[in-house]
Amino acid sequence: MKNSLLLSLLPVLGLAAPATAQNVDFVQDTFEYSAGPIGGLSGGQGWAGTWWSGQAQDGGVVETPGLDGVGGMLTTNIQHEGSYRLIDMSPLGPITENFLLGKDGTTVWVRFTFRRAAGGDDFYGGVVLNQQFVGEQLFIGSPYGDTKLGIERPFVTAPTFIPGTDCDVENTLVARLDFLPGDDRVQVRENPGVPFPTTVADIDQLMPDIKFNEIKFASGEGQTTGFHFDAFVLSTPEFGPKYSILNLVAGQQATLQVTGATPNATVILAYSLSGAGPINTPYGPVAMSLPIKQLPPQQANANGIVTQQVFVPAAAQGIAVYTQGVELVSGGGGYLTNPLAEVVQ
């Protein structure tokens, strides 16, 4: 009875971002490290590997207290040296193109707090969205040529500054990047007070196509080096596999729905009656315990939606179902759905 119920309940799966998405953080670093060179350190979330900060690994150093009131902050230490760290692209497939952020139709938010160090005279300091071994894609902070805050495409566009701002004062910048066919739209707000503001932007500008996979913190062109950085976050509208079961009630119709799947993509659902795992798979860890059974592949429609109504037998009340799906990707791999652990009511 249990297996037959599951086979009737779970032939639909998929992956999707919800129609009304919330923003989720996928990279962050608040520099909660011991004081000293940042090179070789590996805290934060969403990164690939450790910080690289010059041959001696001291192009940037961790100092305490931080700007956010917790732990440390990153301070630039050597002119132009830069502290670099790659972003972990492995869980970001639906919002990347050729393993780079900047896929048309996606959005990324950049948020950080910074200021020039007391007594410092660097002519620029900020965060760079960088494409490793290719070049700087977007500078956000205090560009060369003024003490105001602003943005530029290094060596491509002139800086755009926010009037009345001052890099010697602690500021939080929030930048929204909308990746479009052709030029990309960049909106920047100074101290908006919320992580995802909707007010009129201080800067709203089209910039040449931006593609990046690395973050760089740097400053320079002064006699006394030093910009402080803290509370760095990358966010994006929620993405990836989303799967739901509605009205899972014994003796009634249940609706299984997937929204936002890749149109016409092949999706496979698996289930377990034994628990929530985790178990490692070729697609990543899944929230199911062995034994796990796989259902026949399904195909999302042209709108990326899969919906099926099933009758839940009265005798199924109290059965716990652990289930999760994957959207297969051409060439291998796939994107996992969110896991579900539900009890038939």
Share of the chain above pLDDT 70, in %: 94
Mean pLDDT of the chain: 89
Instruction: Say yes or no: 219 and 328 in one domain.
Output: no
pLDDT band, very low/low/confident/very high, at 3 (cuts 50, 70, 90): very low
Instruction: Say yes or no: 184 and 275 in one domain.
Output: no
Neighbours of 253 (CB within 10 A): 11
Q: Which of 98-112, 231-245, 277-291 is modeled with the greatest confidence?
A: 98-112
Is the pLDDT at 338 greater than 90? The verdict is no
pLDDT in tens, 124-149: 999 999 999 999 999 999 999 999 99
Largest CA distance in the chain: 78
Instruction: Say yes or no: 78 and 201 in one domain.
Output: yes
Q: Of the residues 237, 258, 284, which one is the last residue of a structural domain?
A: 237
- Helix (H) or strand (E) run with residue 184 in it: strand 184-190
Closest by Cα among 240, 238, 336 to 288? 336
Is the pLDDT at 48 greater than 50? The verdict is yes
Overall number of domains in the chain: 2
Q: Of the residues 178, 208, 237, which one is the last residue of a structural domain?
A: 237
Instruction: Say yes or no: 103 and 183 in one domain.
Output: yes
* Backbone torsion region of residue 46, taken as left when φ is above 0, otherwise alpha when ψ lies between -120 and 50, otherwise beta: left
**Of 35 and 328, the one with more pLDDT:** 35
- SS3 of residue 315 by DSSP: helix
Instruction: Say yes or no: 168 and 296 in one domain.
Output: no
pLDDT band, very low/low/confident/very high, at 11 (cuts 50, 70, 90): very low
Instruction: Say yes or no: 221 and 253 in one domain.
Output: no
The enclosing domain of 193 has a CATH number of: 2.60.120.200
Instruction: Say yes or no: 55 and 167 in one domain.
Output: yes
Place of tokens 């961790």: 62
CA distance 163 to 158: 15
Which pTM was predicted? 0.76
How far, in Å, are 65, 126, 131, 217, 285 from residue 108 at the CA level? 29, 18, 15, 18, 26
Instruction: Say yes or no: 199 and 108 in one domain.
Output: yes
pLDDT in tens, 13-35: 222 333 345 899 999 999 999 99
The enclosing domain of 290 has a CATH number of: 2.60.40.10
Q: What is the pLDDT of residue 21?
A: 53
Instruction: Say yes or no: 265 and 208 in one domain.
Output: no
Give 118: exposed, middle or buried? Use CB within 10 Å, 0-12, 13-18, 19+: exposed
Q: Of the residues 237, 260, 279, which one is the last residue of a structural domain?
A: 237
Range(s) of the domain holding residue 82 = 23-237
How far, in Å, are 16, 153, 163 from residue 160 at the CA level? 37, 10, 10
Instruction: Say yes or no: 222 and 253 in one domain.
Output: no
Is the pLDDT at 317 greater than 50? The verdict is yes
Instruction: Say yes or no: 182 and 290 in one domain.
Output: no
Mean pLDDT of 103-110: 96
